[in-house]
Structure 1
């Protein structure tokens, strides 16, 4: 059983739609509710209301661009392994909350009539979700907030996620949080991957108690487990897959850091919801705000934006030259209003 819904609260017209609906609500794995987005040229995305979690992003040829483990457990309260988990209000396990916070373990609500959105969109393939704290959440993180999440497909098949987090505390108190879009990309083989755009930057090594180092390579390549938080990163990062001749372009706003992670073989075998050899077919490059917490006073709102594109690697000749493919993001780094 499925139903179509208009993006961002638009009322469906009386005329029958031509082709698949741009937004469709239906049941997913284990009966969990999900939303399917379809762009007219053939690209698609799937979003589970559990976690506000993107679990699929396919190009116009139907090729899957995100990685989800074959052993992923689609059953609350376990987070879904793969896709794009939302890490809020905490990234990692440095703090008193559960690892990566609780947003990825909560069921979000489709917002039928969201407030005006600051960035117009030309596609109808989008959905607006909202998360508000439950009584249980307030016990472990005593703050009131409204977290609005728009997930959209652009006309060219780009996947766009925009998070708007507002402090709605009535007691006059500020709150602080860390955040990440924990994106799992589907790749040919981890040995064939280069991540460009993070050269010469400082990073915190999660494998060495967040000791600080400076990146020495001209690109990041993978030969063993890697878990790093790169600091002061540019608004664009490229993931080059030599075998597939494809480059993922990560564009971000309001998110100064970038996490790069691959668990490699030992950690992969230790995770119950991850296949022993699946580390070869995924890499996480995550737009994030971690080193410096985001602090909001009551009434203030923070925006964190992620845009993902998949382009032929021929656009890049060993250099990250985003102007040849993609225009600058309009989202400022300082995006608290």
Structure 2
């Protein structure tokens, strides 16, 4: 693989962490084996539902959740989760009629399949950086990575029939101080090439959508699904959200899109090998029409900034591997 500047770091699972005198990250599996929660000594946490490998919570040390989750989100595996970070694969949106994914449901099968929890790995900062963090008033800077797997052999008979290709996907969720990384490694395990799309359908929590702006999209070409405009160019350096929004920004040259709320930076969304970003907010009428969207005015406190590779198809030859990911930074 080509080295990339924002590539999610690999965290070795070594005995050194266990022998450390300081507090360590903890990982708990729920009694019903439905979700995995990781916590840092600083108090930050992440919870992943095995149904869809959906991140349903990412909390700061003070308990503030960075993700928006609908009050009516189904967390029992009956339907995809409304909120958090659902994983979209191998197709984004309604599948085209003339493509190999045409028999799949909207957004594919990853978000409504049960994934396998593959385990954790942890890392600690060096003693020097730990001392620097302490001197600056920071907390323990250890990190924890959770890995999840989805394979063609795991799929439901319906999904397998609709998309009969051999594949393996390893999804990694890494919790660090002030940050969350999500990354996918996709492998073609068959003898035929196939195409796919992938996206992290991320619902970020904001205090007031009327005071929320996005930066980092100036000059980027986008498709506006609300206005049915196939191609336009973003002319605003600080993009406000003033109504229903559904745009696909394509081939973004800069790696970071930032969320600014009431004039203060709230999130950085840093893409790695993911060229596109979807910006979505249903606004009042569409939110009210969705049975699993609650409260009705919840659109005022969320914005979807969804990094992905969806404007084009990615072709994976037999035996080849593709990877990409995104880092979210909480700037509270």
- TM interval, shorter chain, is 0.7 to 0.9
SS, match of residue 63 in structure 1: coil
- In 2, the alpha carbon distance for the partners of 1:23 and 1:157 equals 18
- Give the structure 1 partner of residue 27 of structure 2: 23
- In 2, the alpha carbon distance for the partners of 1:12 and 1:68 equals 36
Q: Shift in Å at residue 37 of structure 1?
A: 1.0
How many residue pairs get aligned? The number is 295
- Give the structure 1 partner of residue 184 of structure 2: 163
- Out of 70-79 and 185-194, give the one that drifted further: 70-79
CA contact (8 A) 1:189 1:281 kept: yes
Q: 1:24 to 1:205 in 2, by over 3 A?
A: same
Which of these residues, 259, 271, 275, is aligned with residue 252 of structure 1?
271
- In 2, the alpha carbon distance for the partners of 1:279 and 1:13 equals 42
Q: Shift in Å at residue 208 of structure 1?
A: 3.9
Residues 49-64 of structure 1 aligned to structure 2 (within 5 Å): 49-64=50-65
- In 2, the alpha carbon distance for the partners of 1:181 and 1:16 equals 34
- In 2, the alpha carbon distance for the partners of 1:297 and 1:14 equals 40
Structure 2 residues without counterparts, runs of 5 or longer: 1-10, 97-101, 126-141
Q: If the length of structure 2 is used for normalisation, what is the TM-score?
A: 0.82
The Cα RMSD (Å) is 2.6
Q: Shift in Å at residue 11 of structure 1?
A: 7.9
Q: Shift in Å at residue 246 of structure 1?
A: 4.0
Q: Does 1:150 align with 2:172?
A: yes
- In 2, the alpha carbon distance for the partners of 1:152 and 1:82 equals 19
SS, match of residue 226 in structure 2: helix
- In 2, the alpha carbon distance for the partners of 1:20 and 1:259 equals 36
Q: If the length of structure 1 is used for normalisation, what is the TM-score?
A: 0.81
- In 2, the alpha carbon distance for the partners of 1:78 and 1:12 equals 41
Residues 205-220 of structure 1 aligned to structure 2 (within 5 Å): 205-209=224-228, 211-220=230-239
- Give the structure 2 partner of residue 100 of structure 1: 107
Q: 1:158 to 1:73 in 2, by over 3 A?
A: same
Q: Shift in Å at residue 101 of structure 1?
A: 0.8
- Give the structure 2 partner of residue 298 of structure 1: 318
Q: Shift in Å at residue 77 of structure 1?
A: 3.3
Residues 1-337 of structure 1 aligned to structure 2 (within 5 Å): 21-27=25-31, 31=32, 33-95=34-96, 96=102, 97-112=104-119, 123-133=142-152, 134=155, 135-154=157-176, 156-169=177-190, 172-209=191-228, 211-233=230-252, 234-242=254-262, 245-275=264-294, 276-312=296-332
CA contact (8 A) 2:17 2:24 kept: no
Higher relative contact order (CA 8 A, sep 6+): 2
- In 2, the alpha carbon distance for the partners of 1:47 and 1:215 equals 34
